[in-house]
Structure 1
Amino acid sequence: MTGGALRYAERRARLLERMQPGAVAVLATAPEIVRNGDSEYPYRHDSYFYYLSGFAEPESALVLVAASGETPARSVLFCREKNPEREIWDGYRHGPEAARTEFGFDGAHPIDDLDAQMGKLLANAPALYYALGHSAALDAQVSSWLQAVRAQGRSGITAPATLHHLLGILDEMRLLKDEGEIALMARAASIAGGAHARAMRFTRAGRFEYEIEAELLHEFRRHGAQFPAYTPIVASGVNACVLHYNQNNRQCREGELVLVDAGCEFDGYASDITRTWPVDGRFSAPQKALYELVLQAQHAALAAIVPGRPYSDVHEAAVQVLTAGMLDLGLLDKAKYGSADDAIADKAYQQFYMHGTGHWLGMDVHDVGPYRDVTLGTRPSRPLLAGMALTVEPGIYVRPAEGVPEQFWNIGIRIEDDVIVTDGGCRVLSGSAPKTVAEIEALMREHP
């Protein structure tokens, strides 16, 4: 078994230890999805399935059987059979036997045998773990398996008495990244950071947002990233005040900013970086004032990332700095609010900063795992732990409005980095993307 396969086997073993003795777990990968006619979208595996298997082929499922008494635990893969004719058209297939050997499973069968085999595997099992309520089709398939087992009741065979939601257990496992995962995320962040730098050098007045997007995508693929981690946002001028803008079809104009939110996926792990820069290479005084405020808020948020502190402290630290700055710059009325705390209590800052300061990051760009722990009483935000990965992305978005200084109208700024919680604080993975005003302006003076 290779080192990579061993890592996935260890994850399966950890899950099996959390299961009831003798219980069965089943998890299928993502289906192929038709784009139009007989063409599919580029295939991407299910993250949960890949986390436990490392197997990237479609039409696959994983079954785990927990140890019971002297019967050892087992992991069984179901996948496509070898088919030389289809491999001419679609490429290599492992087939069950090769997949079992290469990926370290205890057994492997053709995917077409799944229904018949589940009837055998579930016989007398005390419990079944699966993605409960995840899809109507899966629930129906599980129901058919259970009915098939119950039909053998006269022979003394029993069906699982309880059903457990498998994904909640996996969410907690995936929330803490191991060294291999962190290395992949660092690589994804490095590639994306270089892509942002390339896009900065390329940006000029008159170029279209989609031209900048093309530079990003070129750099992602050139360095081995398999996909963008999400649809890139390239938002110039007024578009930067639309949080999820992704039409990317406007022409950039002199004197504006362009906000670029773009990350890539490398070997199953995502990066997520946002930078904001001037189209003509130099920040105006109002742009610089807002940019420095957002950067200061990010510094405060990063300083709040300490093991044991609540996740919510990251957002609260950013809000405190942003709100004080909004008062100082005249975005919020000092005559109405005596202090930043008063403005925060009234949620006045939400006119210009209406989203959270980050999210979990990992195999999914908005990765799995709860942000709250209701057992913690009045402050249910869960504590940070070494190995957690998150983004830190404060921003400010100034739409034209009465009482808002006109010099700030239509300016949208966000700064986002990818971060790993460490024993002593945090490690920023995305430092290759220029971030300070001086760094950005110096880079943009370089020719493409």
Structure 2
Amino acid sequence: MKYSLIDSSLFINNRKKFTTKMKPSSLAVFNSNDIYPISADSTIPFQQHRDIFYLSGVDQEESILVLFPDCPKEKHREILFLKETNAHIAVWEGEKLTKEKAFETSGIKTVYWLQDMEKIMFELMTQCDTVYINTNEHYRANVETETREDRYTKWLLAKYPAHNVAKSAPILQRLRSVKNPIEIDLIQQACNITEKGFRRVLNFVKPGVWEYEIEAELMHEFLRNRSKGFAYTPIIASGNNANVLHYIENNKQCKAGDLILFDTAAEYANYASDLSRTIPVSGTYSDRQKAVYNAVLRVKNEATKLLTPGTLWADYHVEVGKIMTSELLGLGLLDKADVQKEDPDWPAYKKYFMHGTSHHMGLDTHDYGILTEPMQANMVFTVEPGIYIPDEGFGIRIEDDVVIQKTGEPFNLMKNIPIEVEEIEELMNS
């Protein structure tokens, strides 16, 4: 891994929090992701399943975590099954986790090779009544590919059909949404790397540059700071491309007078950051661009203040809609008649601001969190309002990542990343 070793106390604590939520005489199983094929012998670079990483810190393929807090054998209350390494694998693929290294990473003392899994699982399953399976229940999930977790679940339930079945997802949704201080520090590191990339491109952008060249500059800066790269597919959208919310082609030339909307951020140690900024290709905003930019910035600043413990996500977005409506009236994009006759299910402001303002962030860019439950301290949210005006040839989005505090305003993890018009212009023209 490129990142520095994470303190195993994070994963030890995460497992304790999970197991206290389990039913008596129950066992939970978590699998790593597959290495997915492209064709021939080509594969997609490995990305670890975030749940097994959250609970163990193990960041390699063909790994299984078993948690059985009531197991009669104390040594079987936490088990890792790993792919056995050997000299051949070391030569062709590089170092894999040894049992000693797995303990250092995870704090789990009992480590078996994967070849022993079925024999040991038979013993464990005779000693438990309920098995927790791990299904993807994220509100944005749309998965067509059968995962390694899916295959394992099929095998387990077919072999042991008499067991009660419970779900890990509701427990993890709640646990993962509230961040440990170590996690917040890792997200901060991702944000700091993102800042370095953004400052780099402020000095690079000029009329005639191509969007993909900007992408390359960001990737260079991310990699040289121990990131694997982008936390999500980067959006570098100049001119009217910004009005396509998930524009990812990044293949247009940036023209003088246009704006570039960036939605680009680094990961670090599998933790995401999520940044949006909109800058002028020529280094200076027009009066109209500046007016719209500052309107979006005011919405962001006011929306941030609303992220406090006890707030409901749906209510929050209603309030942000009111703030945005006021700004759109000020810009002349809406008039009072538009607001008076608006459809409550699709308010007038949605013509120019059609996406949500905030989402949970952490190990996933759109992280776990139950949106119908009140916000809590140490949840990390994005704040990302935007105004999109195809008729004027530009769109503006501004986004920071913040940590909800017990009292007062959220802490902005991106407070050092340039955001004010004057600072951006100064840096681009220095």
TM, length-normalised to structure 2: 0.91
Match of 1:155 in 2: none
Contact 1:281/1:441, CA 8 A, preserved across alignment: yes
Q: Give 1:260's aligned residue.
A: 262
Q: 1:369 to 1:208 in 2, by over 3 A?
A: same
Q: Quick check: 2:34–2:148 contact (8 Å CA) kept in 1?
A: no
Q: Distance in 2 between matches of 1:264 and 1:440?
A: 20
Distance 2:83 2:377 in 1: 39
Match of 1:414 among 391, 397, 413: 397
Contact 1:270 1:362 in 2 (8 A): yes
> What displacement does 1:68 show?
5.9
- Structure 2 gap segments, 5+ residues each: 138-145
Deviation of 1:185 (Å): 0.6
Show structure 1 runs of 5+ residues with no match. 151-158, 373-381, 401-408
Q: Specify the SS of the correspondent of 2:120.
A: helix
CA deviations 1:212-242 (Å, max 9, x no partner) are 1111111111211122101110000010111
Q: Confirm whether residue 196 of structure 1 aligns to residue 194 of structure 2.
A: no
1:435 lines up with 2:426 in the alignment? no
Contact 2:210–2:252 under 8 Å retained in 1: yes
Shift of 1:47: 0.4
1:375-405 Cα distance to aligned partner (Å, 9 max, x none): xxxxxxx3221110010000000122xxxxx
Alignment match of 1:397 (pick from 388, 393, 398) = 388
- Separation of aligned partners in 2, 1:255 and 1:311: 37
| Distance of 1:206 and 1:440 partners within structure 2 | 19
Give aligned pairs, total: 416
SS in 2 for 1:227: coil
Q: Distance in 2 between matches of 1:279 and 1:245?
A: 18
Q: State the one-letter code of the partner of 1:118.
A: M
Q: RMSD of the alignment, in Å?
A: 2.2
* Aligned residue identity for 1:47: R
Secondary structure (helix, strand or coil) at the match of 1:214 reads helix
Distance 1:206 1:260 in 2: 17
Partners in 1 of 2:309 and 2:300 — Cα distance? 18
SS at match of 1:384: coil
Alpha-carbon distance change, 227 to 17 in structure 1, aligned in 2, over 3 angstroms: same
How many percent identity over aligned positions? 36
Whole-Å separation in 2 of the counterparts to 1:122 and 1:215? 52
Using the TM superposition, give the Cα deviation of residue 209 of structure 1 relative to its aligned residue in structure 2, in angstroms: 0.6
Q: Is 1:127 aligned to residue 140 of structure 2?
A: no
Q: Distance in 1 between matches of 2:398 and 2:295?
A: 11
Instruction: Give the letter for the 1:417 counterpart.
Output: D
**Alignment deviations for residues 334-376 of structure 1 (CA, whole Å, 9 cap, x no partner):** 34545xxx6584611111110000110000011011111xxxx
Query: Could you tell me which residue of structure 2 aligns to residue 111 of structure 1?
Result: 114
- Please give the secondary structure, in 1, of the residue aligned with 2:336: coil
Tell me the distance in 2 between the aligned counterparts of 1:219 and 1:60.
31
- Distance in 2 (CA, whole Å) between partners of 1:40 and 1:427 is 39
The 2-side partners of 1:57 and 1:40 are apart by 15
Structure 1 letter corresponding to 2:156: W
Letter in 1 for 2:229: F
Q: Give the alignment's TM-score, normalised by structure 1.
A: 0.87
- For 2:375 and 2:227, how far apart are their aligned partners in 1? 29
* TM-aligned CA distance change 1:163 to 1:415, over 3 Å: same
**2:281 & 2:104 partners in 1: Cα distance?**
54
User: Which of residues 150, 156, 169 is equivalent to 1:145?
Assistant: 156
Question: Does 1:29 pair with 2:12?
Answer: no
Q: Which of these two proteins has the greater Rg computed from alpha carbons?
A: 1
Report Cα offsets for 1:243-277 as digits up to 9, x if no partner: 00010010011111000010111012100000001
Q: Residue 109 of structure 1: SS of its match in structure 2? A: strand
- Equivalent in 228, 237, 244 of residue 246 of structure 2: 244
Alignment of 1:80-119 (within 5 A): 80-96=83-99, 98-100=101-103, 103-119=106-122
Q: Name the CA distance, whole Å, in 2 between partners of 1:260 and 1:31.
A: 31
Question: Do the aligned partners of 1:193 and 1:431 also contact (CA within 8 Å) in 2?
Answer: no
Q: Label 1:272 to 1:195 Cα distance change in 2 as closer, same or farther (>3 A).
A: same
Q: Say which of 270, 276, 300 aligns to 1:274.
A: 276
